[in-house]
Amino acid sequence: MRMHEYDLAAVDALQLASLVTPLESFDRRCFVDPPWHEQEDRFAACPAVPGVYGTVAWNRDAVGSVGFGWLDADEVPEGAFSAHVSARSIPPNTSC
């Protein structure tokens, strides 16, 4: 079995925004269906979140994978995935 070679690159909000089009179909395939149930347009809004950053795994000229996020200690965002994670990772009677 041959493993693919990937080049990892850190990305900021502007760089992530430039990847929205190629990554939207990937995001939909991964997160719109169960168990995540995210809205289809969720990914397109992510580059506008203050402080967003990530890492892209490039397979030659194509995006092989991406990981991104942002720090948001003030509150847990609304959404199916957030509710799923919060219910399983935040103990009862805990303030976030």
Place of tokens 């402080």: 51
Instruction: Answer yes or no: is 80 within a domain.
Output: yes
Q: What percent of the chain has pLDDT over 70?
A: 71
Q: Residue 90 pLDDT > 70, yes or no?
A: no
Range of the domain at 76: 7-89
Global pTM reads 0.60
Higher pLDDT, 56 or 91: 56
Instruction: Answer yes or no: is 2 within a domain.
Output: no
Instruction: Answer yes or no: is 75 within a domain.
Output: yes
**CA gap 35, 84 in Å, rounded:** 9
Instruction: Answer yes or no: is 67 within a domain.
Output: yes
Instruction: Answer yes or no: is 95 within a domain.
Output: no
Instruction: Answer yes or no: is 96 within a domain.
Output: no
Q: Band the pLDDT of 1: cuts 50, 70, 90.
A: very low
Per-residue pLDDT at 34: 81
The number of distinct structural domains making up the chain is 1
Per-residue pLDDT at 81: 65
Instruction: Answer yes or no: is 28 within a domain.
Output: yes
Q: Beta strand 62-69 with 53-59: parallel, antiparallel or unpaired?
A: antiparallel
Instruction: Answer yes or no: is 14 within a domain.
Output: yes
